[in-house]
């Protein structure tokens, strides 16, 4: 079992985002450079080390949807804005009575084609991998594909090709095509993670930014099957 999962299970909670990054990175999935900090001074030092621009995110077991809770600030370009962001989002969380485990400082990823990769549970068949383009394609048009785990390479490739918005991944209006090989690899990794870690009930990698070469998972949420703390 991955170390990140072990800590969360012991405390009877879901994975914090740094732990979700740790889990993904242990399977070779690309995530942004990041640091977990516990003071404004540490936040400034981490941003200098990682390189600007950065994003700050609240880390709390009580906050699942960070953006909606005012826990995310993007495109911070200097030390003063990073220190101010640290104070703003930690104060906001504490006003909401949330336990604060720190703030995640991540390198702001360059723009790319936004996609969603997820893991959910089918009541009859069990773990299912989901794939779709980001934004309105999933939210409004429900344009997504699903497969039971374990995925074979042909399954992952078919999931990518069968969504209605697939032509956008091939490149339109001068936009470069997305790296479909990297995307296929990511779907296979999510399937492998789910197969090897049955404690995971849901996974939401949203968004994943896909480039002409490679991709980056810039936000990750991993939920575990509910259980009581062991200590």
Arithmetic mean of pLDDT, 36-45? 98
**CA 171, 177, 179, 184 torsion: positive or negative?**
positive
Strands (E) located in the chain: 34-37, 54-59, 72-76, 102-107, 113-122, 126-133, 144-148, 200-210, 215-217, 220-224
Q: Which pLDDT band holds residue 1 (cuts at 50, 70, 90)?
A: low
Burial class (CB in 10 A: 0-12, 13-18, 19+), 140: exposed
Would you say how long the chain is, in residues?
Answer: 231
The CA-atom distances, in angstroms, between 107 and each of 31, 34, 51, 77, 99 are 10, 6, 7, 11, 24
For residue range 59-98, list pLDDT tens digits in order: 999 998 898 888 999 999 999 999 999 999 999 999 999 9
Strand-pair partners of 208: 115, 217
In degrees and rounded to multiples of 5, residue 188 shows phi and psi of -65, -35
For residue range 174-222, list pLDDT tens digits in order: 788 999 999 999 999 999 999 999 999 999 999 999 999 999 999 999 9
Distance, in Å, from the CA atom of 124 to the CA atom of 66, rounded to the nearest integer, reads 31
Residue of 82, 84, 32 whose CA lies nearest to 217: 32
For residue range 148-183, list pLDDT tens digits in order: 999 999 999 999 999 998 999 998 777 889 999 999
Query: What six digits make up the tokens of 182?
Result: 């990297």
Distance, in Å, from the CA atom of 184 to the CA atom of 191, rounded to the nearest integer, reads 11
Pairing label, strands 113-122, 200-210: antiparallel
Q: Is 102 helix (H, G, I), strand (E, B) or coil?
A: strand
């Amino acid at each position: 079992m991955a170390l990140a999962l072990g800590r969360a299970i012991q405390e009877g909670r879901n994975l914090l985002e740094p732990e979700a990054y740790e889990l993904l990175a242990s399977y070779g999935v690309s995530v942004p450079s990041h640091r977990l900090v516990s003071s404004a001074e540490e936040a400034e030092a981490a941003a200098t080390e990682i390189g600007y621009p950065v994003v700050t995110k609240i880390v709390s077991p009580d906050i699942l949807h960070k953006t909606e809770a005012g826990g995310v600030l993007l495109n911070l370009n200097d030390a003063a804005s990073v220190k101010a962001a640290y104070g703003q989002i930690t104060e906001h969380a504490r006003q909401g009575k949330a336990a604060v485990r720190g703030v995640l400082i991540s390198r702001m990823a360059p723009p790319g084609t936004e996609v969603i990769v997820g893991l959910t549970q089918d009541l009859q068949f069990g773990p299912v991998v989901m794939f779709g383009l980001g934004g309105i394609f999933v939210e409004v048009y429900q344009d997504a594909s699903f497969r039971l785990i374990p995925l074979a390479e042909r399954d992952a490739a078919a999931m990518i090709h069968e969504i209605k918005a697939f032509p956008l991944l091939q490149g339109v209006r001068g936009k470069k095509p997305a790296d479909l090989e990297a995307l296929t690899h990511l779907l296979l990794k999510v399937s492998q993670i789910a197969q090897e870690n049955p404690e995971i009930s849901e996974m939401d990698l949203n968004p994943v930014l896909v480039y002409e070469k490679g991709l980056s998972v810039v936000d990750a949420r991993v939920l575990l099957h509910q259980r009581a703390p062991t200590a």
